[in-house]
Structure 1
Amino acid sequence: MYKYILFDLDGTLLDTNQLIIDSFKHTYKLHIHREIEEKEIIQYFGEPLITTLRRYSPDKAEELYDTFIKYNESIHDNSVSLCCNIQAALEQLKEMGCIMAVVTSKRSRMAYRGLELFDILKYFSAVISVDDTTNHKPHPEPVLKALKKLGAQADEAIMIGDSVFDIQCAHNAGVKAIKVSWGVALGHQDEETPDYMVNDALEIVDIVRG
């Protein structure tokens, strides 16, 4: 049994796919006057926002960042939902005595906002956001910081995420990883093989239980 469970946020706990896509489309249309296809946008899901924006406008990435954030926050609460069976899975993991954390490339304020919106913050003992680390996914620092906060060893923990960046981050920290199928992250998915694949959040409980 794994005692410590680390969850990615967007695309894993919360369905923020359309929120993120719409925010990128709005930003790119306004600043670089281009219509970017959804498939191209999805390719970079899971990496820090500023990293993605620099791919399209290295010189004006900060300006794009401000536009993205403002628009994203304005539509956030009406564009986000809880992923299927996540609430039930979290409740079962809690009853099993698991200690859980969120490890996300999202800013702290918006990570907490999403967790509080669906009343699932109560399940987590730590939230590691992009604001909390110098290096970001796929670098191991976010997972290592979560382990330190929880007082966990790598072999006692498992990471759950929807993108290759989540899987790489976990493996780079010496942690096993579960990839969920309900996220839409597509980019470079063949670059890292997860230890487990699940199609339903309740399958996570079975893996954790062992």
Structure 2
Amino acid sequence: MATGLLFDFDGTLYGDWRLWISIIEETLSSFQITTSPHDALEMARRMIENGGNPNTTIRISSIATAIARDREIDLPEEEVRTRFFERLDARMDQTGPDEKLIGLLKGFAQRGFRMGIVTFVRKPRIRRRLDVWKLKEYFASVITPDDVADFKPSPRPFLRAMEELHVLPDECFVVGDEPVDMIGGKEAGAKTIGLPQGFFSGQELEKAGADRILSSLELLQTMVYE
């Protein structure tokens, strides 16, 4: 049985494509630009498919910038990003963590699993989030681009987390919603679990190397307890 669990954060421990689209709509609205969920989803898929490399990540705030550009409106990308995260953080403060997530983490901790987070979310934001949500106690390792220069899909951030958790790669599961999680986790020697809650499909996660695809994070406990 595995002893280590490494999670992505956005799109895995919190949020899905519906939330991202909602925040994109709010962000564009602050610039007096109206969009629809369909347009936002279409743009996300277009950016993934036109990127020519499905094994890359997608910066969600850049979807808002791309929608505006499609309408010949040039928005400052950093300002869009700032407003996007202001609205996302406000939503997260308002909703708090899902009770099912808290129960899941408690269950893993009680069974002796060592848990970590490997995320593109910058250190100050993820630290604040874990503090505000009172989840810090569950994660002995939190690795961000501030810790490792060569980030996902490199295996290095995953290996760094494994070192901090004192678990071997073949004792560890990597859980994420993007191909970069599957590629990096697999190259690090871990078992990989795809959670298609974001803009990438289960098929794309499988192609990137997912050993298993789960429709819900709640199903993870059944799988890792096997």
TM-score, with structure 2 as normaliser: 0.73
Match of 2:200, as an amino acid? Answer: L
**Partners of 1:97 and 1:161 in 2: how far apart?**
21
Which residue number in structure 2 is paired with residue 107 of structure 1?
122
Higher-RCO chain (CA-CA 8 Å, sequence separation at least 6) = 1
Q: Number of aligned pairs?
A: 200
Corresponding residue for 1:47?
57
More displaced 10-residue stretch of structure 1: 196-205 or 94-103: 196-205
Output the CA distance in 2 between the equivalents of 1:69 and 1:110.
Answer: 14
Tell me the CA shift for residue 84 of structure 1: 6.9
Summarize the Cα distance change of 1:112–1:138 in structure 2 as closer, same or farther, 3 Å threshold.
same
Match of 1:37 among 35, 40, 44: 40
Q: CA deviation at 1:6?
A: 0.4
Contact kept? 2:115, 2:141, Cα under 8 Å: yes
Q: Deviations over 1:94-138 (max 9, x none)?
A: 000111000101111112233233222221001101211111211
Segments of 5+ residues of structure 1 without an aligned counterpart are 58-62
Residue in 1 that maps onto 2:182: 167
Secondary structure (helix, strand or coil) at the match of 1:186 reads coil
Q: Structure 1 residues 74 and 19 mapped into 2: Cα distance closer, same or farther (>3 Å)?
A: farther
Distance 1:113 1:20, change over 3 A: farther
Aligned position for 1:184: 198
Code of the aligned partner of 1:119: K
Alignment of 1:111-150 (within 5 A): 111-150=126-165
The residue that corresponds to 2:72 in the other structure is: none
- Cα pair distance change 1:37/1:199, threshold 3 Å: closer
Scaled by the length of structure 1, the TM-score of the pair is 0.77
Q: 1:83 to 1:192 in 2, by over 3 A?
A: farther
Find the counterpart in structure 2 of residue 4 from structure 1: 4
Which letter does structure 1 place at the counterpart of 2:155? P
Contact (CA 8 Å) 2:118, 2:161: kept in 1 or not? yes
State the Cα deviation string for residues 118-162 of structure 1 (Å, max 9, x = none).
Answer: 222221001101211111211111111111211221111111111
- Where does residue 214 of structure 2 map in the other structure? 198
Distance 2:157 2:58 in 1: 12
Structure 2 gap segments, 5+ residues each: 49-53, 70-75
Matched, 1:14 2:28: no
2:86 to 74, 82, 88: 74
For 2:149 and 2:5, locate their aligned partners in 1 and report how far apart those are by CA, in whole Å: 22
Q: Distance in 2 between matches of 1:92 and 1:152?
A: 19
The residue identity in structure 1 corresponding to 2:210 is P
Q: Percent identity?
A: 22
Match for 1:8: what amino acid? D
- Measure how far apart 1:85 and its partner are: 2.3
Q: Which residue of 2 aligns with 1:158?
A: 173
**RMSD of aligned C-alpha atoms?**
3.4
Greater alpha carbon shift after TM alignment, 187-196 vs 38-47 = 38-47
Q: What SS is found at the alignment partner of 2:10?
A: coil
User: Retained in 2: the 8 A contact 1:155–1:174?
Assistant: yes
